[in-house]
Copies of this chain bind each other. A is one copy, B any other.
Amino acid sequence: MDKKFWSEKAKRIKPYVAGEQPKFDDIIKLNTNESPFPPSPKAIEAFYNTNAADMRLYPDTNAQIVREAAAFADGVKPENIFVGNGSDDVLAMTFMALFDGEVKTPDVTYSFYTVWASLLGVDLKEIPLNDDLTIPVEKFFGGSCIIANPNAPTGLMLSLEDIEKIAANADGPVVIDEAYVAFGAETAAVLIDKYPNLLVVRTLSKAHGLAGLRMGYAIGCEDLIGALYAVKDSFNSYPTDRAAQNMAAAALYDVEYNKATVERVCRIRDNTAEELRKMGFSVTDSKTNFLFITHPAISAEELMKKLRDKAIIVRRLSNPRTSNYLRMSMGTEEQMERVLAEIRNILEG
């Protein structure tokens, strides 16, 4: 491409590289942290109950039914909820609506943060993780920050007390990206009334098994939520479609199904971690739906390639500090048994 008519901004950016969506069948796809289980049967019912002929009419611009469902699920008011087209959309709006000047983030974290910063003119300051990959809490005091909790790809969580310390010591917005919070961390949503600078971001792509639906939301005081809607209404008035709103609302109300599914994924994760440790892997204490692993006897690159030969797809992220780690999403019980067997073979081979 000669990029002749590209804007300066477009020429400068280095886009985020999403995990591959392989087209071939019979693979075990553990590279994008999707749920191994389908969404709630009530969500599926809500999808098919959508009147597709009504698609001729615009959807509700603010996705009110999703705001109400999320408010129910999180014990807040609908006024505390902003709904977007996946949490990536919510985070992009957040970068525009809340961030000016310098914003702190860990040096090993969701790599999209640096991409948004570059596209949207935010000065992201990377704070190095401690040697054990934990977050140095005090270094986030003052200014603004964005922190994934639990962090990805490390899987490690901060306690609610530490999050509160960061919010209390900040003098700008504190954004906590809780994509994986359901799998073992505590949500900071309980603090939004106390800290008007605190925004919590959620997705339905992980715990709710709805990565294909593109739904995410933010939780914060009305003033922060107002900023997000002001930017949304200056960018795309109708970011979520009619069927997606129906399906998302039903999924959020089905608290019981979500709880059972999440508990099942956590059991699979803890069993898998135990087996991997027995094989000599170093495995972080993940509170997510994935494991972050490294082995002294085989490089991450080689292991990834050998697993791929067995139709098992995992992900290696490009950050130099953790380039010898693999991130492995949790599949079903049956899938993980096969994965563990293949890894044993590879290590023994």
Question: In the assembled complex, which residues on chain B have CB atoms less than 8 Å from the CB atom of A233?
Answer: 15-18
Is A211 interfacial (CB-CB < 8 Å)? yes
**Interface residue tally of chain A, by bracket?**
35 or more
Picked from B1, B58, B239, the residue with its CB within 8 Å of the CB of A21 is B58
- Known contacts A1-B226, A18-B61, A29-B57; 11 additional CB pairs below 8 A are A9-B231, A13-B230, A17-B233, A18-B58, A43-B55, A54-B212, A85-B214, A86-B238, A119-B231, A241-B243, A244-B244
Picked from B7, B14, B196, B197, the residue with its CB within 8 Å of the CB of A96 is B7
Chain A contacts to B: CB under 8 angstroms: 1-10, 13-19, 21, 29, 32, 34-39, 43-44, 47-48, 50, 52-61, 85-86, 88-89, 92, 96-100, 112, 115-116, 118-119, 172-173, 196-197, 205, 209-214, 222-224, 226-227, 229-244, 247
Question: In the assembled complex, which residues on chain B have CB atoms less than 8 Å from the CB atom of A13?
Answer: 230-231, 234
**Contact across chains for B242 and A10 when beta carbons are under 8 A apart:** no
**Contact across chains for B243 and A47 when beta carbons are under 8 A apart:** yes
**Contact across chains for A8 and B119 when beta carbons are under 8 A apart:** no
Question: In the assembled complex, which residues on chain B have CB atoms less than 8 Å from the CB atom of A57?
Answer: 21, 29, 34, 211-212
